[in-house]
Amino acid sequence: MKRILVTGGSGFIGSHLCERLLNEGNEVICLDNYFTGSKRNIIELLGNPYFELVRHDITEPYYAEVDEIYNLACPASPVHYQYNPIKTIKTSVMGAINMLGLAKRVKAPILQASTSEVYGDPAVHPQPESYWGNVNPIGPRSCYDEGKRCAETLFMGYHTQNGVAIKIARIFNTYGPNMNVNDGRVVSNFIVQALQGKDLTIFGDGSQTRSFQYVDDLVDGLLVLMQTDASVTGPVNLGNPTEFTMLELAREIIDLTGSSSELVFHPLPQDDPQQRRPDIGLAQELLNGWKPQVELQQGLQHTITYFENLLSA
């Protein structure tokens, strides 16, 4: 049995990761300050004697004896990370320093949940890990984009200078149950609007693309990445390479929900990427052939059912 620390453990992805780690026979410490996470996401885990919930902000040091660390703490949707940009970048940078310090002290491997946002509005498509990105360092999204880029730098620094065992996962658009109703990301926005009979809000003309990964596939990738040989540090892209336009996604969700919603168009936000699709060749090479298994329609149906139950509660 390993004792595993998950920061941001009551968040969307973190809650799924905590559940999987417990199911695999581990002891889990879930650390969260509930800025975007929710106790509702981990309520069913609270009765497990091997699950420990700690209210803590990782911009402050935390001390525990652990065998592995997954650093997921940070608001990940534009609505939330732009609400308090200083707090966002402090979480990415100071949080990374604190968790890396802990990993160094207890000699534990640590995985950083980085993001496809490090690529910015990419000039290379699809995006391989070798691409350095096209990021506006002073734009409205920079608190998140540059915070995550700096966190990657810190991870590599602690690895090369102090020998800390690190893993960096660049996570592309992920969706599924436990997303916040007010998450602000496109999948949850469209589903909630469709279920409530509201018009679906399209930013731009809807031709911009994203690749959508179901959360179970992501958790599979994170677990395999953590168990790779120490020489594998990443970054490694984890995402679904199947690409959809916003219009295609909106129409699929309207069909699946049986909604009579219409599409309404608004101006594209500043620095919003036009294209986003991962090159997952490295992940397939290093992670025992890992690739997403859940098709968009199947994953959307699970997510729609979750929101139906949540909104009717």
Residues 241/279, Cβ–Cβ less than 8 Å:
yes
Catalytic residue among 70, 81, 119, 144: 144
Q: Is 81 a catalytic residue?
A: no
- In 3-state terms the chain splits into helix, strand, coil percentages (rounded to 5) of 40, 20, 40
Cβ-Cβ contacts under 8 Å for 228 (sequence gap 6 or more): 167, 286, 287
Beta strand 166-171 with 236-238 is parallel
CA atoms within 13 A on the CB side of 238: 29
3-state secondary structure at position 138? coil
For 150, other C-beta atoms within 10 Å of its C-beta total 15
User: Residue 7: CA atoms inside 13 Å, Cβ hemisphere, count?
Assistant: 31
Q: Which residues contact 43 (CB under 8 A, 6 or more apart)?
A: none
* Segment holding 203, helix H or strand E: strand 200-203
End-to-end CA distance of the chain: 37
Write out the catalytic residue numbers: 144
